[in-house]
Amino acid sequence: MPTDEMTYLTVLLTTIETQNWRSLEYLLLKEPLVFTTCADRISNSPGLNGMTILHSAMRYGNLPSHLVELIIKLCPEAPSTVDCLGRTPLHIACGTRARLSSIKALVVAYPRACAVQDVDGKTPLHLACDNQCELFAGDEDIKRDPTSFETIEFLSLSYPSAVTLDDEDGMSPLEHVIVSDGADMNVVKLLQSVTRKQYKTQTSFGSDGIIIDNQNSILINKSLEYAKENRIIGRAARVSE
């Protein structure tokens, strides 16, 4: 790699890591061809496990949406690229609680990302509903704020089938909301409604889940607590491997 490109790449990655978005915008606009060259090198770097520059930038949830759109314009293949764990940039954005405007930009660029399940069986909606999701090494101590109602609504309506999918822990997006701290009942009711529409009938999740009754309330039985316990055990096992 030429020295100038190496310098640019170093500055680019540092700018993203320090979340200096004004400087990032300057780099994108000043040398777009150099940016795309460096972005290709990042995508092909074994040490980054298949992540694109867009994955890296979305790791920081406060990336302004106009920069998301600019990166997509320069790297149009990035929104559809999955990393070694099967995650698109939309997965990362949902897990890090990105701005709704940024999430919308990603969905517009690649709507099918809403349907992609990663190696843990999670769609972007699963990650948005899970306050304890672990995206990167060291995330186990991070306590994430609940995703906004508006974001959950946008994701669930963009790909309604996601509400009926279970991840590898046997958890649906609705169940992730319920077992997360500070569950928003408005989000619960929203996901119930989308689920009913998907099944076209009143839906029962069986003896080890939740039951939706005629008043749109939810009954959480003891087995849901077991599901929560098993989920925590499963996570701990993966982290320790």
Read off the pLDDT of each residue in 118-145 and give the average, rounded to a whole number. 87
Residue 191's pLDDT band (cuts 50, 70, 90): very high
Under the phi-then-psi rule, with left for phi > 0, alpha for psi from -120 to 50, and beta for the rest, what region is 149?
Answer: alpha
DSSP per-residue string spanning 146-162? PPPHHHHHHHHHHSGGG
pLDDT of residue 200: 66
Length, in residues, of the chain = 241
Beta-carbon contacts of 138 under 8 Å, excluding residues fewer than 6 positions away, are none
> Cα(17)–Cα(113) distance, rounded to whole angstroms?
25
Structure-token pair, residue 176: 């992730």
Q: Which residue has the tokens 């491997």?
A: 241
What is residue 20's predicted lDDT score, i.e. its pLDDT? Answer: 96
The reported pLDDT for the residue numbered 231 is 44
In which band, very low, low, confident or very high, does the pLDDT at 3 lie, cut at 50, 70 and 90?
Answer: low
10 Å CB burial of residue 240 (0-12, 13-18, 19+) is: exposed
pLDDT exceeds cutoff 90 at 194: yes
Alpha helical stretches, state H, the chain? 3-17, 21-30, 32-43, 53-58, 65-74, 89-95, 100-109, 124-129, 149-158, 173-179, 185-199, 222-240
CATH of 2-202, one of 3.40.50.1820, 3.40.50.2000, 1.25.40.20, 1.20.1050.10: 1.25.40.20
pTM: 0.80
